[in-house]
Structure 1
């Protein structure tokens, strides 16, 4: 490939490299082709037809163009995630060309993609959370194993802040002290196999204990699966519960409780953290309970709490308006 190779020739060479040497999927190649075609058109619009002539300012101009709406051309500004994806393709192209000696300098090396918009987690209000848990059933007079299981799962999700994968991965032996007056605890295995111990209050302990005594034995013999193995939460066939079943349990309970909008197992984790901070918990404690390796990850929940405080202040303070 000569140093004065056209942009299209360079793009084809890069895509061939991704397909043959990197084993990129057809879907990935198609996405990169679309992004790089957009880049080629941008360079052409500013008079650049030789990639050896591309400078950092050209790449930066492309980034700005992606983020800017052009009503006359009927073009809307792309979301930051789409801009980041396009820049990843462009940065990969220039890195490839520099490594192969087509260009002397990597013109895109210093152009960084935009940071993704910070999405604040949505916490379910305490009263709605309780209504959702109660909507699962599992009362003292309930004899339906699935309802007892569902109640235990939702109580445990809210009490521990467990991720969905952590909850369905629980074994019976991961629970301790369910019969203790002050509550018990659960061992959660998070990302990277890291373990943490999270305390459980009486409602969660009582719900899990009721499930273990009145529901799990019946579920464990379904489908001839014997004792059901070590898994804590079992499906109707006596095997370990799946993510999809957990999702269905959560969405069904949310619908019964009249909650609007999307509610997922992760909503319980968001609510767990936000309600702790609203109650005055130290962020370092919440970090440990959530299993975050860095407190920076946990700090997003403080933004939710600040927004809540601002709403209350705006509603109640005589000088807020």
Structure 2
């Protein structure tokens, strides 16, 4: 069984429902009690996962597909179908996932499985609420990476480490063709990761038209974040200089064009004309760029693009930018997420608070 592709449109989805009368009960409410496994998976994605009025990053969609493939592969290995799932199968799959994956990945895959079972119960595919038997592993909250001896290390960089890596973004370029615009592009990527705290998915989706000037004349960028939520970020003067240098090398004027939907970052290798047929930079290419720069810089090999986002939030809070402002800049849905950073910073400062106390 294959993971279903996204439905083309709302109209097509409605037509499918109307043409499949066996998926409706006597009150014309959705009932999947008589559907096939393929139909159940299709509607689980269409209704239970890919909800209307939501936008999903390529990274999120890839994770959902991976979780579905993990479940399908497990069922295929033991000769099971969806309707074979009961209490023993739920507990067995739970143990399998917990044993095979690190806590964070296991928790995500089990959350996918929980939603799968809950959707099945709500649509009468399953007669009982099997999701209650799932037990997800405990995971360390906050921006930490797992390490040995029951300890955790922070997935963030010092300002010095971050700058050291960014300085190597241009060094990554080995090609002679388009060397100047490639180096300028890479430098701008590094500065935007560090000074905007932007997610990788948000960065690669930026267009030339994403930038504009505020009423005060400052350069800002409109970012489309998780769940289709838009936020506006200020572009610092240092980053602005890299932006305009890159624009000039790409043949763009110094005047922002709000209607431009051409990608800000695109592939330039082996192209005679960098202004033609712009293919948007992929996450894989961004990830490789960061990894190559990290290797050249000789820093911790596990650094990924997301580390710069954690570094951005920590730097702001350490310099006493208000918590609510940092939340808005980072695009956190809940201030409790931002507060996790602040709690760690306050913990680090405890010794400073007590050093002048006499007992």
When the two structures are superposed, what TM-score results if normalisation uses the length of structure 2?
Answer: 0.56
Residue 246 of structure 2: aligned partner: 211
Could you say which structure has the larger radius of gyration? 1
For 2:190 and 2:162, the matched residues in 1 are separated by 9
For 2:102 and 2:181, the matched residues in 1 are separated by 49
Counterpart of 1:144 in 2: which secondary structure?
Answer: helix
For 2:78 and 2:102, the matched residues in 1 are separated by 12
RMSD of aligned alpha carbons? 4.8
Question: Does 1:251 find its partner at 2:291?
Answer: yes
Number of positions where the alignment pairs a residue of Structure 1 with one of Structure 2: 258
The residue correspondences of 1:105-120 to structure 2 (distance < 5 A) are 106=128, 110-111=132-133, 113-114=135-136, 116-120=138-142
Show CA shifts across 1:77-111 (max 9, x none): 9958658839957x949x76xx6898xxx485654
Counterpart of 1:132 in 2: which secondary structure?
Answer: helix
Task: Give the C-alpha shift of residue 253 in structure 1.
Answer: 1.8
Residue 74 of structure 2: aligned partner: 31
Corresponding residue to 1:137 among 170, 183, 192: 170
Task: Give the C-alpha shift of residue 123 in structure 1.
Answer: 1.0
Select between 76-85 and 188-197 the one with higher mean Cα deviation: 76-85
Structure (1/2) with the larger helix percentage: 1
Which runs of 5 or more structure 2 residues have no equivalent in the other structure?
A: 1-33, 43-67, 81-85, 144-154, 172-177, 253-259
Counterpart of 1:293 in 2: which secondary structure?
Answer: coil
Q: Is the 8 A contact 1:123 1:270 kept in 2?
A: yes
The residue correspondences of 1:52-201 to structure 2 (distance < 5 A) are 82=106, 85=110, 88=113, 92=117, 106=128, 110-111=132-133, 113-114=135-136, 116-121=138-143, 122-137=155-170, 144-177=180-213, 184-201=219-236
Q: Is the 8 A contact 1:59 1:108 kept in 2?
A: no
Task: Give the C-alpha shift of residue 34 in structure 1.
Answer: 7.1
For 1:207 and 1:77, the matched residues in 2 are separated by 41
Residue 51 of structure 2: aligned partner: none
For 2:162 and 2:246, the matched residues in 1 are separated by 20
Q: Is the 8 A contact 2:209 2:261 kept in 1?
A: no
Q: Is the 8 A contact 1:87 1:113 kept in 2?
A: no
Show CA shifts across 1:55-76 (max 9, x none): xxx999x69x959x9xxxxx99
Q: Is the 8 A contact 2:291 2:303 kept in 1?
A: yes
Task: Give the C-alpha shift of residue 304 in structure 1.
Answer: 3.9
278 and 199 in structure 1: CA distance in 2 versus 1, 3 angstrom threshold: same
When the two structures are superposed, what TM-score results if normalisation uses the length of structure 1?
Answer: 0.62
